[in-house]
C-alpha cells in the first residue's frame, strides 16, 4: 500500500511537471529577427520605438533588431534567409519582383521618403540636379533606395546614367566625412544627418522629400517608403506571427501620431540624439507627418514607385509588375 501511494505521488508529480513544461512551451515568445537599414535614422524610427514601448513583448514576440548601414544590405540578409524581415523602403518589393523574387510590405510606415539631396557648400555653382553632371553623389549603398531616387532625379533632370557617379558612403559620420573631404559634392540622406550638416553650414538642401507635398513635387505622387517587408512565402507560413508584428507596429504608428516629437524622443536611445537632443526633436517634429497613421499603403503610392523605377532602371522598365503582390493591407486592417 505504501509503495502504491508513493508511485501515485510520483505519477502526479510527473504529470504536474509535464503540464508546467507544456505551459512554458506554449507561453514561449515567437522569435523574429528583423534587420534595419540604419535604425538610428528617423525614417526607420518605428522599429526602435516599438521595442522601447514594449509593444513586441506585449504581443508575445521576441524580436531581435539588427542594424545595417544600408537598406540593400538588409534586403540581401533576408533573401539569404538569415533574417525574417526588413525595415526598409517599399521600392525593393517592386524591384525584386522583376528579378523573380516575391516580397511584400506588410506594414507601411511612411508615405514620403524622408530623404533630402544635400549639396556641399564648397560648391556654390550647383543650383539644380542638372548641375550635378560629372559629379560624385553620395548614397547609402549601391542598389539602395537612395541610389534609386538619385538616379531617377538625375535622369529626370536630363542627365543620363553614366554622366555622374554614385558613391556608397552610408549615413551619419561616414556621409559627413565624405562631404567634408569633397569625395562627394552632393548626396542623399535622412535625419538626423541632414540637421547636423545644415547646423554647421557645410551643406544646403537641393531637393526635399521630407513631406508629402514636396515629395509629390519631386516624384510626381505619394511615395510609400519605409516599411516592414518580408518574403511572401514566409508570410504565408507564419501568419499568426506576422499579425502580432502588425499589431505592435500599428500601435507604434498610432503612438507617433498622438504624441509630440519630444515625447517620442524620450523613448529613443540617447545615442541617437548625437549630442543634440533639441535638434533631434525639431527634426522629428518637422518630419513626423511622413508616417502613416495606421500602416496602410497609401492609395496610388505603388504606382508612383513603379513609375519612378521605370524612369531609369533597365530591370524595371518595360517589365510587367503585379503591384498587388508587392504589399498587403490584411494584417494592418486586422490589427488589434
Per-residue cell: 260? 509630440
Q: How far apart are CA 263 and CA 281, in angstroms?
A: 9
Which residue ranges make up each domain of the chain? 26-113+223-333, 115-209
Q: Do 26-113+223-333 and 115-209 show the same overall fold?
A: yes
- Count other C-beta atoms under 10 Å from residue 100's C-beta: 6
Residue 248 has pLDDT above 80, yes or no: yes
Per-residue model confidence as pLDDT tens digits over 43-88: 999 999 999 999 999 999 999 999 886 656 777 888 888 899 999 9
Give the strands of the sheet with 203-209, arranged side by side: 165-168, 136-139, 186-189, 115-120, 203-209
Per-residue cell: 284? 522629428
pLDDT at 82: 84
The answer to whether 287 touches 41, Cβ cutoff 8 Å, is no
Q: How far apart are CA 242 and CA 219, in angstroms?
A: 31
- Listed range (128-137, 163-172, 229-238, 272-281) with the worst mean pLDDT: 272-281
Q: How far apart are CA 111 and CA 295, in angstroms?
A: 10
Nearest to 109 by CA among 60, 62, 50: 50
The answer to whether 148 touches 309, Cβ cutoff 8 Å, is yes
What fold does the segment set 26-113+223-333 form as a domain? D-Maltodextrin-Binding Protein; domain 2 (3.40.190)
pLDDT at 202: 97
pLDDT at 23: 36
CB neighbour class for 53 (10 Å; exposed up to 12, middle 13-18, buried from 19): middle
Nearest to 152 by CA among 94, 227, 195: 94
What's the whole-model pTM score? Answer: 0.88
pLDDT at 184: 98
Please report which confidence band the pLDDT of residue 27 belongs to, taking 50, 70 and 90 as the band edges: very low
CB neighbour class for 5 (10 Å; exposed up to 12, middle 13-18, buried from 19): exposed
Mean per-residue pLDDT over the chain, rounded: 90
pLDDT at 146: 94
Residue 28 has pLDDT above 90, yes or no: no
- What integer is the mean pLDDT of 21-32? 56
Residue 7 has pLDDT above 50, yes or no: no
Residue 261 has pLDDT above 90, yes or no: yes
- What integer is the mean pLDDT of 216-224? 96
- What integer is the mean pLDDT of 267-285? 91
pLDDT at 327: 98
Residue 106 has pLDDT above 80, yes or no: yes
Per-residue cell: 6? 508513493
Q: How far apart are CA 178 and CA 11, in angstroms?
A: 70
Q: How far apart are CA 101 and CA 93, in angstroms?
A: 8
pLDDT at 68: 81
Q: How far apart are CA 269 and CA 255, in angstroms?
A: 17
pLDDT at 132: 98
Tell me the Ramachandran region of residue 115: left when phi exceeds 0, alpha when psi lies from -120 to 50, beta otherwise: beta
CATH of domain 115-209: 3.40.190.10
pLDDT at 24: 36
Per-residue model confidence as pLDDT tens digits over 294-330: 999 999 999 999 999 999 999 899 899 999 999 999 9
Amino acid at each position: 500500500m505504501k509503495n502504491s501511494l508513493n508511485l501515485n505521488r510520483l505519477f502526479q508529480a510527473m504529470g504536474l511537471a509535464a503540464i508546467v513544461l507544456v505551459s512554458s512551451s506554449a507561453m514561449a515568445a515567437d522569435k523574429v529577427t528583423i534587420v534595419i537599414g540604419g535604425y538610428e535614422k528617423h525614417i526607420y524610427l518605428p522599429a526602435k520605438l516599438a521595442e522601447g514601448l514594449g509593444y513586441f513583448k506585449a504581443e508575445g514576440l521576441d524580436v531581435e533588431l539588427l542594424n545595417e548601414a544600408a537598406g540593400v544590405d538588409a534586403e540581401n540578409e533576408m533573401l539569404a534567409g538569415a533574417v525574417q524581415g526588413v525595415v526598409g523602403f517599399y521600392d525593393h518589393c517592386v524591384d525584386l519582383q522583376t528579378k523573380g523574387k516575391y516580397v511584400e510590405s506588410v506594414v507601411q510606415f511612411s508615405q514620403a521618403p524622408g530623404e533630402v539631396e544635400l549639396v556641399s557648400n564648397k560648391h556654390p555653382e550647383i543650383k539644380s540636379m542638372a548641375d550635378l553632371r560629372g559629379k560624385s553623389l553620395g548614397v547609402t549603398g549601391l542598389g539602395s533606395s537612395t541610389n534609386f531616387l538619385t538616379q531617377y532625379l538625375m535622369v529626370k533632370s536630363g542627365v543620363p546614367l553614366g554622366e555622374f557617379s554614385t558613391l556608397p558612403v552610408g549615413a551619419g559620420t561616414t556621409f559627413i566625412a565624405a562631404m567634408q573631404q569633397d569625395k562627394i559634392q552632393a548626396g542623399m540622406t535622412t535625419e538626423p544627418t541632414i540637421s547636423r550638416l545644415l547646423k554647421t553650414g557645410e551643406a544646403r538642401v537641393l531637393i526635399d522629400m521630407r513631406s508629402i507635398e514636396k515629395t509629390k513635387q519631386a516624384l510626381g505622387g505619394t511615395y510609400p517608403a519605409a516599411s516592414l517587408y518580408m518574403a511572401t512565402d514566409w508570410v504565408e507560413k507564419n501568419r499568426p506571427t506576422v499579425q502580432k508584428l502588425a499589431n505592435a507596429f500599428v500601435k507604434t504608428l498610432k503612438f507617433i501620431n498622438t504624441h509630440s516629437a519630444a515625447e517620442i524622443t524620450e523613448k529613443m536611445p540617447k545615442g541617437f540624439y548625437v549630442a543634440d537632443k533639441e535638434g533631434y526633436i525639431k527634426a522629428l517634429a518637422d518630419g513626423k507627418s511622413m508616417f502613416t497613421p495606421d500602416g496602410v499603403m497609401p492609395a496610388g503610392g505603388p504606382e508612383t514607385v513603379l513609375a519612378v523605377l521605370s524612369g531609369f532602371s533597365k530591370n524595371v522598365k518595360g517589365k510587367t509588375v503585379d503591384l498587388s503582390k508587392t504589399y498587403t493591407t490584411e494584417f494592418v486592417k486586422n490589427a488589434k
